[in-house]
Amino acid sequence: MTGTESDFSAGKCDACGTTREPFVKVSLGKDFFGRMYDRLSPSSDLSPKWYCESCSLHKNLQRDFRDIRAEFDKLSKGQASEIAGADQLQRAHMRLQEIAAVLKGHAVGSGLIDLADVNALISRMQVQVGSQSVSG
């Protein structure tokens, strides 16, 4: 990448609107399940989003939440899922609890991920975890 990241941004965070922070656009890595991803904007995105440090963290939490929810929805429908085993289900449940704790720790809520949605999924998973006799 040439130049500074802010040369390509609109000069503000696309999530919270701050103009005082360095901005992040693309970061490659692995998702919660070890799959490769481009967590902030796909290469085909013609309107990339830029995030401040705090919103970048929330974007990571949002990605993990969405991945876990999608896999849990598959599991609930009897489809093949990354969290089909008790250990994987417990690991996903613990990650959701971590996400909830981070969101509770921020004075200002995130526009990227809703704590109520995270808590609702935790509750759904607790029923599943309980039905598999896995301690929480």
Q: How far apart, in Å, are the Cα atoms of 32 and each of 37, 50, 66?
A: 10, 22, 10
Q: What is the pLDDT of residues 55-110, one digit of tens each?
A: 888 888 998 999 999 999 999 999 999 999 989 999 999 999 999 999 998 766 66
Using pLDDT thresholds of 50, 70 and 90, give the confidence band for residue 129. low
Residue 126 has pLDDT above 70, yes or no: yes
Tell me what pLDDT residue 49 has: 75
Check: CB of residue 75 under 8 Å from CB of residue 40: no
Check: CB of residue 12 under 8 Å from CB of residue 18: yes
Q: How far apart, in Å, are the Cα atoms of 56 and each of 15, 44, 65, 73, 78?
A: 9, 20, 14, 25, 33
Tell me what pLDDT residue 1 has: 37
Tell me what pLDDT residue 3 has: 36
Distance CA 31, CA 9 (A): 25
Phi, psi of 97 (to 5 degrees): -65, -40
Token pair recorded at residue 129: 């975890």
Q: What is the pLDDT of residues 16-56, one digit of tens each?
A: 888 877 887 655 667 788 877 665 555 555 666 788 888 88
DSSP calls for 15-42: TT---SS--B---EEE-TTS-EEESS--
